Chains A and B, each alone.
Chain A
C-alpha cells in the first residue's frame, strides 16, 4: 500500500470541506477521484501534496506519517489544473525543476528532460517560455514536469480540463499507457466520467464532503450506491421514474406508465415506499405490440451517436425516456412504439434520500455505500 488517508477532516473557516475521509491506494494503481466541482477533490490532492494541512486525520505515504513533512520531502509529482508553470523559465527549465532540486549534473538533467519531452512530444518547444506555448503544449509541459522526477506518487489535478476537445480525446487514449509506463501510484482528479472510466483502476466518487463510493469503473457503473452516482455515470443519462413498489401474490411489481414491471422478489422491503426506478437507456429495447410488460411510447426524436443510436420518447404519462441501441440495429424511428426493460438491470432508489434500495440478496455485494 503506497498511500493511506485515515479519517481526514478539513475545514476552511467554518465550512467543512472534507468530513472523515478515508482512502487507501495500492502501489502502481491509478485511482480516479471523480465528482462535481466543490466536492473537495482538489483539497484532497493538496492535503496529500502537503501544501495544506488537515485539521484532523492522518496521511501515510509508504507507511510513513506525513504530519509535519514538508511538500518537498514527500517524493511526489503533481500536475495542476491551471498548469502552474513558472512563467519566467522556459519549458525545459520548467520540466527540469524536480531534477535541479536533487542537484543532478547538467548533462543528466538535459538527458532526462529530453527523454520526457520526447515522450510527450514537446521536444521542439523546449526553449519557449510558457506564454509562447499553446494550451496543449502547456498542459504537456506541466505533465512532463510532474513525471520528470519519476515520483512514486503522481497527483494529477484534472490535467485535461483546460485543453480543447480534440487534445483531450488524444490524451485520454495516451495517458493510460503513459501512466502504466511510469509504474507510479497515480491519483487522478476529473469531472469527466468518461475520463474516469478510461483511466481508473478504481474510481472514488466524491460529493458532499466525502467519498460516496469506491470501486472499479465497472462496479460503479453496474452498482451505483445512490441516485447521484447513477446519474453521473452513463451517457445518455439513466432514465429515472417515480414509482411505488407494490406486492402481489408472486413478488414485487412497479407500475411504469400503467404497465406492470415485475422486479426481483428481493425488493420486498421497499413495498409501499416512495421510490425512483433507474433504467439505463441500454437496458431498454423496442419490442412488438402485445409483448408482455411492453410500455407504449411515442417517439419524439432520434440521434445517431457514432457507435450507438439514442431515441428520445414520451410515455403515456408524458415522461421523457431515452432508449439506446447499437448503431445499425433496426428500430422504429417515429410514431408509436413499444419498449420493454431488462428487469435484472434496473435500480431502485429511495426518493427522499437518494440512496440505493438494495435487494436483500445483493446485501453482501454492497460496497462503500454512503
Chain B
C-alpha cells in the first residue's frame, strides 16, 4: 500500500471504528443482556452497570426455565442439536448432489443444460412462503411433515442452488487442457474428476459448503411451518421464550449467543478459505 498521511490514517481509523461499532454493538448488547435478569434488562433508562449472572445459560442448558408462574420445560439443547443435524446433513447431501451436477454443467454442454441450471437457480427467486403452503399439504399427505428427512429435503432448496452455481464457476475456471492431459495419460473420466477437478476446485467447494451451512443454519420459515417442537432448530426454538408470563429477554439473548457461536466459530476458522475461495477463483495452471 502506498504511504498515507497522518490525517488520512486517523480518518481511516475513525471510519473503521464507526463501522465496527455499528455492526458489532447489537451483538455486544445481546451478549450483555444474556448475562442479566429480565428486571435489569427492562430498567429505564438502560444501564451497563449490573451484576453478571450465568443463570440464563444455566436455564438453557438444563432445560428448566424459571418464570414467575413456575418452572417451564424448554428444549433448547435439543433445538441446538436439531440445527446442527439438519444443517450438516443438508450440506453433506447438497455437496454430494451439487458438486457432480456442477461439474456436468461446467464441462458437458448438453441440450438444455443452461435451462436446467437456470431453473435450479430460480428456486431462489421466489419467496419461500410461496412454496410453503402447497409443500405443507403434500408433506402431510406423503408423511414427510415433521420428519428430519422432509426438512433436509426442503433445505436442498436453499443449499443446492448455492452450491451448484458457486462450484460450477470453479470447475469452469480449471483449464480444460489440464483435464485432457490426465485423460490422455490413461485415466478415465471418473479418475479425472476425482484426482484433477475435485482438488483444483477444492477452495471453491469449501467456500460453497460453508456458505450453504450458514444459510441452512439461519433458516427459519421452513422449519417453523414444517416441523413441530422436537424437530425444530434454534431459530424456531427461540420462540419458546415468549411465554405466558412475558418475554424472557435474558434467555433469548443467551439463546442467540449460543446459536450464533457455531457459525461464528466456523466463519472465523474458515475466514481465509472463504475470502480466498470467493475472490480468487481456482488455481491457474
Residues of chain A whose beta carbon lies under 8 Å from any beta carbon of chain B:
46, 49-51, 70-72, 74, 76-78, 80, 82-88, 97-98, 100-102, 130, 145, 149
State the Cβ distance, A45 to closest chain B Cβ, in Å. Answer: 10
The CA of A148 and the CA of B187, in the complex, are separated in Å by: 14
Given that A49-B180, A51-B180 are known contacts, is A87 also in contact with B284, CB under 8 Å in the complex?
yes
| Other-chain contact of A85, B178, B184, B186, B188 (Cβ < 8 Å) | B178
* Minimum distance in angstroms from A369 CB to a CB of chain B: 34
Pairwise interchain contact B184-A78, C-beta atoms closer than 8 A? yes
Inter-chain CA distance A87–B283, complex, in Å, is: 7
Provide the residues of chain A in CB contact with B283, threshold 8 Å: 87-88
In residues 9-57 of chain B, which contact A (Cβ within 8 Å)?
A: none
Please name the residue on chain A nearest to B285 by beta carbon: A87
Pairwise interchain contact A72-B178, C-beta atoms closer than 8 A? no
Q: State whether A86 touches B182 (Cβ < 8 A).
A: yes
Q: Find chain A residues with CB under 8 A from B187 CB.
A: 72, 97, 100-101
Q: How far is the CB of B9 from chain A (nearest CB, A)?
A: 35
Main SS of the interface on chain B? helix
Question: Can you show 23 pairs from A to B with CB atoms below 8 A apart?
Answer: A49-B180, A51-B180, A51-B183, A70-B183, A70-B188, A71-B180, A72-B183, A72-B184, A72-B187, A80-B180, A84-B177, A84-B285, A85-B178, A85-B285, A86-B178, A86-B181, A87-B200, A87-B284, A87-B285, A88-B199, A97-B182, A145-B181, A145-B185
Are B186 and A102 in contact, with the CB atoms below 8 A? yes
Report chain B residues within 8 Å CB of A97. 181-182, 185-187
Contacting residues of chain B (157-203) with chain A, CB-CB under 8 angstroms: 175, 177-178, 180-189, 191, 196, 199-200
Q: Which are the 8 A-B pairs with shortest beta-carbon distances?
A: A101-B186, A84-B177, A97-B185, A98-B185, A84-B181, A71-B183, A51-B180, A72-B186
Which residue of A has the minimal Cβ distance to B183? Answer: A71
**Interchain CB contact (< 8 A) of A82 among B177, B188, B200:** B177
Determine if A87 and B178 form an interchain contact, defined as CB atoms under 8 angstroms apart.
yes
Which residues on B sit within 8 Å (CB–CB) of A49?
180, 184
Q: State the CA gap A80–B177 with chains docked (Å).
A: 8
A101 shortest CB reach to chain B, Å = 3
Q: B residues within 8 A CB of A86?
A: 178, 181-182, 196, 285
Query: Min CB distance, A189 to chain B, in Å?
Result: 14
**Could you say which residues of chain B place their CB within 8 Å of the CB of A46?**
180
Q: B184, B188, B200, B284: which contacts A51 (Cβ < 8 A)?
A: B184
Q: Are A83 and B285 in contact, CB atoms less than 8 angstroms apart?
A: yes
Report yes or no: A82 in contact with B186, Cβ–Cβ below 8 A.
Answer: no
Interface centre among B180, B188, B196, B199 (most CB of A within 10 A): B180
What's the Cα separation between A75 and B227 when bound, in Å? Answer: 57
The residue among A50, A98, A149 with the most chain B CB atoms within 10 A of its own CB is: A98
B109 to chain A, nearest CB (A): 12
Complex contacts, B178 vs chain A, CB 8 Å? 84-87
Whole-angstrom CA separation of A31 from B181 in the bound complex: 21
Residues of A within 8 A of B183 (CB): 51, 70-72
B 229-266 to A, binary, CB cutoff 8 A, 1 in contact else 0: 00000000000000000000000000000000000000
Partner of A78, one of B181, B199, B284: B181
Distance in angstroms from B114 CB to nearest chain A CB is 16
Most B CB within 10 A of own CB, among A72, A85, A98: A72
CA distance A74 to B184 in the complex (A): 8
B149 to chain A, nearest CB (A): 37
Contact A84 B185 (CB under 8 A): no
Q: Are A80 and B186 in contact (CB under 8 A)?
A: no
Minimum CB–CB distance for B41 against chain A, Å: 53
State the Cβ distance, B240 to closest chain A Cβ, in Å. 48
Interchain nearest-CB distance for A124 vs B (Å): 22
Give the residue name and chain of the A residue nearest to B186 (CB). Answer: A101
A interface footprint on B258-285 (CB within 8 Å = 1, 0 otherwise): 0000000000000000000000000111
Q: Give every chain A residue within 8 A of B180 (Cβ-Cβ).
A: 46, 49, 51, 71, 78, 80, 84
Residues of chain B contacted by A80 (CB below 8 angstroms):
177, 180-181
| Nearest opposing residue in chain B for A75, CB measure | B186
Q: Give the chain A neighbours of B284 by CB distance below 8 A.
A: 87
A85 and B199 alpha carbons, distance in the complex (Å): 14
**Cα of A272 to Cα of B98 in the assembled complex, Å:** 72
Q: How far is the CA of A145 from the CA of B184 in the complex (A)?
A: 11
Residue in B closest to A82 when the chains form the complex, CB atoms: B177
Q: Which of A71, A78, A102 has the most CB of B within 10 A?
A: A71
Bound complex: CA of A102 vs CA of B283, how far in Å?
27
Nearest chain B CB to A246 CB, angstrom units:
55
Closest chain A residue, CB of each to CB of B174: A87
Question: Quick check: B175 and A77 within 8 Å, CB to CB?
Answer: no
Instruction: For B196, list chain A residues within 8 Å (CB).
Output: 86
8 extra interface residue pairs, beta carbon distance < 8 Å, beyond A50-B184, A145-B181, A145-B185: A71-B180, A72-B183, A72-B188, A82-B285, A84-B177, A85-B181, A88-B283, A101-B185
Determine the distance from Cα of A313 to Cα of B182 in the docked complex, in whole angstroms: 54
Q: How far is the CB of A3 from chain B (nearest CB, A)?
A: 15
Q: Which residues of A contact B188 (CB under 8 A)?
A: 70, 72
- In the complex, which residues of chain A have a beta carbon less than 8 angstroms from the beta carbon of B200? 87-88
- Are B185 and A149 interface neighbours, CB within 8 A? yes
